Structure 1
Amino acid sequence: MVDPTTGPLVETVFHLLLAAGLGALIGLEREQSESGGSFAGSRTFPLIALYGALVQAFFPSVLPFAVGTLVVPLTVAYVGKIWYEGDIGLTTLVAALVTVVLGAMAMHSDRGAIIAIIVGGAVTVLLSVKDPVHEFANRIEESERRASAKFILVVLVVLPALPDRSLDVLYGLNPRFIWLMVVFVTGLGFVAYVLGQTLGPERGIALTGIVGGFVSSTATTVSMAEKTTQNATLYHVCAFAVVTASIVMFPRALIEIAVVNPDLLSNVALPLGAMTVVGAVAAGVLYWLTAADETVEPEELKNPFRLRPALIFGVIFAAVLLVSEYVNEWFGASGVYVTAFFSGLADVDAMTITLSRLAAEGAVSTEVATTGIVIAAIANTFVKAALAWVLGTHRLGRLVSIVLGVVVLSGLAFLVV
């Protein structure tokens, strides 16, 4: 006969082992990095995690008191660490307190255990990237830091205060949704910006194209075109950067669609995916044709967390959303396509999110939204080719136009299939 207590007992032991494992993971990182010193390491952190887990399992009502009690010996150990080692860093102390909470979360429930695993992994990664984080912080100028702080402050203050409903005074627009999309698009650019700053410019022109595609493909195209006027022999490597920045726009659009309207993703994935694959192959050929000694200084892109560009994008997005709704009512699909083309000349993100939103609401069909998004992407691709012609050398313009022309044709081919 099966003991009915066996199941809960096994589950409790499993969660205890999970808590101890998370503590060991963080403890090993602290000890290997020699950041914990004599304060805490590979043995102390598992014990701290088990402490939180056992209290949560058997005395959950006193968990806050238990955490507060642990603060006393941790503080004493921290003071001793300062006294003997002269290290006043708080990172290990805070990590120890977080580990207590992770242990309690691992014991709380299955959902808590999953979140504890995710957070524990994130904490370990954050602790292990000390040098890259400090190097990244040192690369950012004071003006950039202030701009980021202002932007984040505005996001935290403005976003919760905006009404989450359609307002007649704004012609039916939802101000919170608009601002949320501004934050989302800017956040995508900031992630790429952080990646570029963390890896450093020495990673080369490939990183410039990829990061530039997420932050500002137009700025990257302009920069590369101007570099060919300074040194005409660099047209191969500059063309590679322009093409790479241009095709990154397509997966970026797919990410936006996946967030705003996942049901639309399968329809748009085929044409945009084809353009991405064809463009990647072409970029690979350009990279192979690039001479080993052809180098170019990567473009120093600005921090996307700046208030003015974000507000400008918000205005553009609101205008595109409003115009698209009206032209769809007045002119049908043809009006949407014309709007998509002219909007895409300036910004693909605004049209991508707009049509994804309208398709989710049923205002436009899936076919119209898919075609409109591809048209906007193609229009923006034409802009990159035109910039290469006008601002760069004849060789750069011709090479970029041929490659991006093939990319556009592949998208059109899969769109009509």
Structure 2
Amino acid sequence: MSSQQMGLAVALGAGLLVGLERERRKGQGDDREAAGLRTFMVAALTGAVAQMLSAVLAAMALAGVAALAALSYWRSRSRDPGLTTELALLATALIGMLAVEQPALAAGCAAVLAAVLAARERLHHFATEWLSERELHDGLLLSALVLVLLPLLPASPVSWLGQLSAQRVLMLVIMILLMQAAGHVGRRLLGARAGLALSGLLGGFVSSTATISAMGSLVRGGQAPLRLALCASVLSMAATWLQILLMATLVSVGAAQQVWSLVCVGVAVPVVLGALTWHRDGVPEPVQDKQPAGTQGVLRLREAVSVTMLLVGGAVLVSLAQQQGVGGLLMGTALAALADAHAPMASLMGLFGAGHLSQAHLLWGLMVALSANAVTRTGVALTSGGQRFGLGVGLALALNLLCAGAWVVWLLR
């Protein structure tokens, strides 16, 4: 099959797919919509043929479809002020043109268009009933940070930010806000128990510190029971251990062989603690919300900035220590891990893979990094969730590190 034949086939398929959805909604009798299955197939085929012949003819064909869509809207506006069918007809013609040059992309666009048209009731319910006004405002704020402010910030490292760039600092804030949003959506879709636990586990793969901060703020704000927030925070610790094995697999296969048993022990402790916390919360505690469900703020910008400044402070400390000539593998690892445990752990595994580090130094270096980062996470828990939440997170981290350290001693005996 030639490329032109493929383009025509995709264009016809796109018109058929979108036209089937519109045909089911056009109604019957004299009041039915003007555009249906045949109209959409003809529009897609017209766009494809015109594109094959010349650019001028393609522009004329598109203008003709637009004129017909405008006429259809004028005819039906008294009973249906919407423009969905008319815009879909115009989009189908454009997809037909696209199919000539990029059939795969055109097929994907047709599938997306048909799915959007078919999901009318669900999208309407989501926009008008499920999504609250505060959630909409928070979503717009997050979109503005990602799409407007982030590209404008410089990407070059700054010495007084610990060799981080302003763009990188904002990315940390956005990451924490995304974790807050993920937890909120998880709770609304799955309920408090399953939603919090799942968001805690998944959030740990991004940042256990950020996840603990988000859970602590929920406890402080009365939006989640203490035990459920602790369960989610503990599960984020399991994700941190799993990340060690993932990094080792990518950095050095030899390092992965050395740390896999330690990772198993490290994962087992928070999983057991999380299960016990989940079991003890068999009857969910009532949450005292000051606002109806769905109207609480999704994003807590002040807390996200506070945690980011804590991470940046750790990076600045590392930068200053390096400038002053602070040596020693374990000391440097501990200082770096105050801000982020993964970067120094990846460096340790890279050194081991290159033959510059022994097994003992690798394992104890990992423990030092995790212990230093545990101090940061405990401080974040105390700051965001209060004394009880911070104490629970600190004890879970201490027990986790104690069991992992005992396993390291056993391995090196």
TM-score by length of 1: 0.63
Matches within 5 A, 1:272-311: 279=270, 283=274, 291=282, 294=284, 296-297=286-287, 302-304=297-299, 307-311=301-305
Tell me which residue corresponds to 2:6: 14
Quote how far apart the aligned CAs of 1:177 are.
Answer: 3.5
Quote how far apart the aligned CAs of 1:96 are.
Answer: 3.5
Tell me which residue corresponds to 2:67: 72
**SS of residue paired to 1:105:** helix
Structure-2 separation of matches of 1:61 and 1:252: 58
Kindly provide the CA deviation profile for residues 292-350 of structure 1, in whole angstroms up to 9, marking residues without a partner as x.
x656549876323x65455445544443333334445623432344335544xxxxxxx
The reply on whether 1:175 has 2:166 as its aligned counterpart is yes
Structure-1 separation of matches of 2:72 and 2:194: 48
Compared CA separation, residues 409 and 32, structure 1 to 2 (3 A): farther
The reply on whether 1:209 has 2:197 as its aligned counterpart is yes
**SS of residue paired to 2:33:** coil
- Counterpart among 192, 211, 232 of residue 244 in structure 1: 232
Quote how far apart the aligned CAs of 1:285 are.
Answer: 6.8
* Contact 2:265–2:404 under 8 Å retained in 1: yes
* Contact 1:164–1:175 under 8 Å retained in 2: yes
Which amino acid counterpart does residue 159 of structure 1 have in structure 2? Answer: L
Compared CA separation, residues 385 and 18, structure 1 to 2 (3 A): same
Which amino acid counterpart does residue 100 of structure 2 have in structure 1? Answer: M
Tell me which residue corresponds to 2:82: 89
Tell me which residue corresponds to 1:231: none
- Counterpart among 157, 160, 172 of residue 151 in structure 2: 160
* Contact 1:251–1:273 under 8 Å retained in 2: no
Quote how far apart the aligned CAs of 1:72 are.
Answer: 1.1
Tell me which residue corresponds to 1:335: 331
* Contact 1:224–1:242 under 8 Å retained in 2: no
Structure-2 separation of matches of 1:116 and 1:279: 47
**SS of residue paired to 2:181:** helix
Compared CA separation, residues 409 and 142, structure 1 to 2 (3 A): same
* Contact 2:193–2:284 under 8 Å retained in 1: no
The reply on whether 1:220 has 2:215 as its aligned counterpart is yes
Structure-2 separation of matches of 1:212 and 1:385: 14
Kindly provide the CA deviation profile for residues 33-60 of structure 1, in whole angstroms up to 9, marking residues without a partner as x.
7799725455444443333333333434
Compared CA separation, residues 170 and 124, structure 1 to 2 (3 A): same
Kindly provide the CA deviation profile for residues 338-396 of structure 1, in whole angstroms up to 9, marking residues without a partner as x.
335544xxxxxxx267669989x99xx9979976775566557767998999537x9xx
Alpha-carbon RMSD across the aligned residues, in angstroms, is 5.5
* Contact 1:51–1:103 under 8 Å retained in 2: yes
* Contact 1:337–1:371 under 8 Å retained in 2: no
Structure-1 separation of matches of 2:307 and 2:263: 23
Compared CA separation, residues 61 and 108, structure 1 to 2 (3 A): farther
Compared CA separation, residues 159 and 221, structure 1 to 2 (3 A): closer
Kindly provide the CA deviation profile for residues 114-152 of structure 1, in whole angstroms up to 9, marking residues without a partner as x.
444444444444444444544444455545544443443
Which amino acid counterpart does residue 186 of structure 1 have in structure 2? Answer: L
Structure-2 separation of matches of 1:261 and 1:118: 37
The structure number with the bigger radius of gyration is 2
Structure-2 separation of matches of 1:170 and 1:402: 31
TM-score by length of 2: 0.64
Tell me which residue corresponds to 1:3: none
Quote how far apart the aligned CAs of 1:74 are.
Answer: 1.3
The reply on whether 1:323 has 2:317 as its aligned counterpart is yes
Structure-2 separation of matches of 1:168 and 1:389: 33
* Contact 1:244–1:280 under 8 Å retained in 2: no
Tell me which residue corresponds to 1:391: 388
Structure-1 separation of matches of 2:163 and 2:380: 34
Unpaired stretches in structure 1, ≥5 consecutive residues? 1-6, 228-233, 344-350
Matches within 5 A, 1:371-410: 374-375=370-371, 378-379=374-375, 390-391=387-388, 405=399, 409=403
Quote how far apart the aligned CAs of 1:206 are.
Answer: 0.6
Tell me which residue corresponds to 2:100: 107
Quote how far apart the aligned CAs of 1:80 are.
Answer: 2.6
Compared CA separation, residues 64 and 135, structure 1 to 2 (3 A): same
* Contact 1:222–1:391 under 8 Å retained in 2: no
Which amino acid counterpart does residue 338 of structure 1 have in structure 2? Answer: A
Structure-2 separation of matches of 1:164 and 1:238: 39
Which amino acid counterpart does residue 4 of structure 2 have in structure 1? Answer: T
Structure-2 separation of matches of 1:358 and 1:413: 22
